[in-house]
Amino acid sequence: MALTVRRMTEFYDWMTEVADDRVEDWLLMKTPWPSVGFIIAYLLFVWLGPKFMKNKQPFDLKSTILVYNAMLVVLSIYMFKEFLITSILGNYSYKCQPVDYSTSPLAMRMTSVCWWFFFSKVIELLDTVFFILRKKNNQVTFLHVYHHSSMIVNWWLGVKYVAGGQAFFLAMLNSFVHSIMYSYYALAAIGPHMQKYLWWKRYMTQLQLVQFFAICFHTGYNMTIDCNFPMGFNIAVFLYVLSMVALFSNFYIRSYKKKDVKNKE
């Protein structure tokens, strides 16, 4: 037992030593424990929230959700713009891009938007909170909870160790997709009369799948070439995105393909 604790302590010390000094004093970045706390609180709410709401009326959060989604649209567009422009100005390679650990203006600009991308994932935990407070528990699926909680872990590590580099590609695509996704949610929050304008929900899910396939291809390619980017992160991203492809494909088939078959019968 003592040996295990010592090894874990040594591993933690090593992880601290190899971290990116530039983000040491940034919000939530000094240690992983605040982020771990967010995830634990989130999972507890997913478990206890429906029990708390069982005998209560759903909250009317229409105005709050509309403002929330509109703000996330703005934030997503901002992050997409920053990833795109900074990568172009920095002459980033879309094949293989090592992390620039310097404190040059462009390197810090990329590091900053990576942090904002991580922080956006903390904000997006409110998606689930709103579902539960409105008693939309059918929306709180395994895919939903897994994706929201795991992205905080993924991007805390990303900012702490590889802020920039080819990780920008994943975040840039995701920011673009989320700008569309939260636009859809904002329109849906206006009211039922907007449903006739929201026929494109199916295509939004297809766009999410295209995003995951693109990231899978991009990361898989970088695993086959000599690139000065940590292979451990490439492998972790590749395996994670495979899990998202599987889960989103299952969601798409259940949500749309089975309905298509039923409508033809």
Q: Distance between CA 6 and CA 118 in Å, rounded? A: 30
| Residue at 22 is within a domain | no
Q: Distance between CA 223 and CA 221 in Å, rounded? A: 5
| Residue at 7 is within a domain | no
Which of the following is catalytic: 144, 147, 148, 178?
A: 147
The runs of H, that is alpha helices, within the chain are 2-17, 33-53, 62-89, 105-123, 126-133, 142-162, 167-190, 201-222, 231-252, 258-264
| Residue at 259 is within a domain | yes
Q: What pLDDT score does 17 carry?
A: 78
147 is catalytic: yes
Place of tokens 């998606």: 127
Residues 6+ apart with CB under 8 A from 150: 240
Are the CB atoms for 69 and 63 separated by under 8 Å?
A: no
| Residue at 161 is within a domain | yes
Structure tokens at 130: 């709103």
> Structural domain of residue 210, as residue ranges?
60-264
| Residue at 222 is within a domain | yes
Q: What pLDDT score does 262 carry?
A: 52
CA distance readout (Å), 50 to 33, 41, 55, 148: 26, 14, 9, 18
| Residue at 38 is within a domain | no
Q: What pLDDT score does 239 carry?
A: 97
Structure tokens at 69: 């989604």
Are the CB atoms for 206 and 114 separated by under 8 Å?
A: no
Low-confidence ranges of the chain (pLDDT < 70): 1-5, 7-14, 257-265
Q: What is the number of structural domains in the chain? A: 1
| Residue at 25 is within a domain | no
Q: What pLDDT score does 259 carry?
A: 60
| Residue at 4 is within a domain | no
Determine the Cα angle at 35 with ends 66 and 6, to 5°.
170
